[in-house]
Chains A and B, each alone.
Chain A
Amino acid sequence: MVGATPPAEPEPEHPPAPEQEPAPEHPPEPEQPPAPPPLPEDAEIARVFRQEYGRAVAVLTRILGDIGLAEDAVQDAFTAAVQRWPAAGTPPSPAGWIITTARNRAIDRLRREAGREDRHAQAALLQAAGAGAAAATPEELLLDELSGEGTVDDDRLRLMFTCCHPALATNAQVALTLRLLGGLTTAEIARAFLVPEATMAQRLVRAKAKIRDARIPYRVPQGAELPGRLQPVLAVVYLIFNEGYSPSSGAGPVRGDLCREAIRLGRLLAALMPDEPEVQGLLALMLLIESRRAARLDPARRDGDGGVVLLADQDRRLWDRGLIAEGQELVRRCLRRNRPGPYQLQAAINAVHSDAPAAAATDWRQILRLYDQLLDAAPGPVAALNRAVALAEVEGPERALHLIEGLGLEGYHLLHAVRADFLVRLGRPEEAAAAYRTALELAGSAAERAFLESRLRGLKAWDQEA
């Protein structure tokens, strides 16, 4: 079961993912204005694949009632697209073409394998469903898309809830979501989470077998069930985002993609569940954190292991104003709704940071109030640590230092980094240096270690001057 409390963002000390080149196959966000340059046909198919794979698998899963069959059918359809589209041109509704072709391929496949009666029956059933949603023509599917409502979107939401069912382990939920809805390959997911490809393939196979054998339903939970079932869905999306933003260890080229993928999934959820404030809050939170990506990287070290710039030291001109405006608007709408939750509160905290033209102008009192609310809504040691950081800004580090001692976070490197920072400000450099060294021992990624080493060096230089 996924923890009920999403980890609060330890913003001021949190290092970013090292600089990454966007992978060439990654499509631009549909909402991003500058249109991509005309792509060659195979790149166009790759783009359609990445953008439409989840939709196609979701629709076919409903039609076929089996994720494995759906994946095979969609794969067949893309193989057909690679053969056809370069000569015949991309069809007007690529998604519609893929889904219709996949459905037809599934019928063929079932017929071919129809050694048994039930396969015959299933193929006949699929064909008989001619007029239903199962047999939507590309035009119908296009209409569905244009009207923004209808079974296609519902299918993706259903698939999301299936992938994030609490009966599945968290790492399986994450892998399934990225594979089935994100359209990432098994190899890409394995690279992103630093596990061997065979391990990731096995994890996916087992999870899909469990969905089939235990009959995990393909359905959006309703009523009283929904809040509890939405929790792991949001947690999986945020986990994907955090893994890209602050890799737990090492670094890989796919990491930056994980942030974009999480935001894409967040946008999809926000569009499909407009009345769920926590869904909107999660999207706002990710957008506001993402808006600072460029400023979090030390320009002198961008090619290296990723120097980290603290929030206080960031060049705020590098912040992405578009993402900030979008995130803040979502936060305002959440405030008007007045049904706060952990994601919304964390988004609001980030919105306050985004409001400040300079670090010194940050409204720390407001941030402290929001952390108080966050701790009420979702008590947890990491949120308490972040609250202490805000408290130190409001009234000085003395009481804050005392507060963080009893949090039980001794194994968490950021606790020691925060402690070190407080001790520096209290004029206790030896203790600060010891705390930085403890943090260094516990830090997982190269970027985090690089950051802590630079702090330790700075401390020594300061000590020598004094």
Chain B
Amino acid sequence: MAQYALMVWGPSEYGKFGSYATAEENAAQLAATGVFTAKLREEGSLVFVNGLAEASASTVVDGRGPTPIFTDGPYMESKEYIAGFWIVEATDLDAALRLAAGGSRACRRKVEVRPMAGE
């Protein structure tokens, strides 16, 4: 088994309905994502899950010098940012991709699958 991060990409700014356009869309994705996450937990493949606040809530910290420097984030300018992620256990990439496809369908976003740095 290996661990993979399933990272959900979303817009840079959130509105009234989180990162979704309408209340209905947000409610539907929340319900579907909840069902999907519950299934991951039940199968034993869920390691961790959470959503992130919008990118403008970020602060970048550089602690490499004598005094840490704090600046308004995010670190990189981008049109889309990671909006949330699952960490899952899977036997191989195909299994992780199958999980990611289910997650993407549930949350209505593109999902990036990246393996955790190996043993």
Contact = CB atoms under 8 A, between A and B. Distances in A.
B97 A213 contact: no
A225 B101 CA distance: 13
A404 to B, nearest CB: 35
A318 interface: no
A213 B92 contact: no
Max count, chain A CB within 10 A of own CB: residue among B91, B115, B117: B115
Interface string A158-173: 0000000101000000
A214 B115 contact: yes
B92 A216 contact: yes
Contacts of A225: 94
B68 interface: no
A148 interface: no
B93 to A, nearest CB: 5
B118 to A, nearest CB: 6
A465 B97 CA distance: 66
A89 B118 CA distance: 44
Contacts of B61: none
Contacts of B114: 214
A167 B94 CA distance: 9
B92 A215 contact: yes
B97 A215 contact: no
A219 B115 CA distance: 19
Contacts of A212: 118
Contacts of A216: 92-94
B96 to A, nearest CB: 8
A83 B12 CA distance: 63
A217 B115 contact: no
B2 interface: yes
Contacts of B94: 216-217, 219, 221, 225
A165 B91 CA distance: 16
Interface string A201-226: 00000000000111111010100010
Interface in B81-119: 91-94, 97, 113-115, 117-118
Contacts of A217: 91-94
Contact of B115 (A165, A213, A221): A213
A325 to B, nearest CB: 40
A167 B115 contact: no
A208 to B, nearest CB: 14
Q: Is the interface of A mostly helix, strand, loop or mixed?
A: loop
B97 A167 contact: yes
Contacts of A167: 93, 97
Contacts of B91: 215, 217
Interface string A3-46: 00000000000000000000000000000000000000000000
A92 B114 CA distance: 46
Nearest to B90: A215
Nearest to B97: A167
A212 B92 CA distance: 10
Contacts of A213: 115, 117-118
Contacts of B118: 212-213
A214 to B, nearest CB: 5
A217 B95 CA distance: 9
A366 to B, nearest CB: 41
A293 to B, nearest CB: 39
Interface string A100-114: 000000000000000
A216 B115 CA distance: 11
Max count, chain B CB within 10 A of own CB: residue among A212, A214, A219, A225: A214
Contacts of B115: 213-215
Interface in B11-37: none
Nearest to A218: B92
Contacts of A221: 94
Interface string B30-59: 000000000000000000000000000000
A116 to B, nearest CB: 12
A167 B96 CA distance: 12
Nearest to A229: B94
Contacts of A214: 93, 113-115
A357 B94 CA distance: 50
Interface in A187-244: 212-217, 219, 221, 225
A221 B97 CA distance: 13
Nearest to B2: A215
Nearest to A216: B93
A146 to B, nearest CB: 33
A173 to B, nearest CB: 15
13 contacts: A167-B93, A167-B97, A212-B118, A213-B117, A214-B114, A214-B115, A215-B2, A215-B91, A215-B93, A216-B92, A216-B93, A216-B94, A217-B93
Interface of A: 165, 167, 212-217, 219, 221, 225
Given A212-B118, A215-B2, A225-B94, 15 more contacts: A165-B93, A167-B97, A213-B117, A213-B118, A214-B115, A215-B91, A215-B93, A215-B115, A216-B92, A216-B94, A217-B91, A217-B92, A217-B94, A219-B94, A221-B94
The 5 closest A-B pairs by CB, nearest first: A217-B92, A215-B92, A214-B115, A214-B93, A216-B93
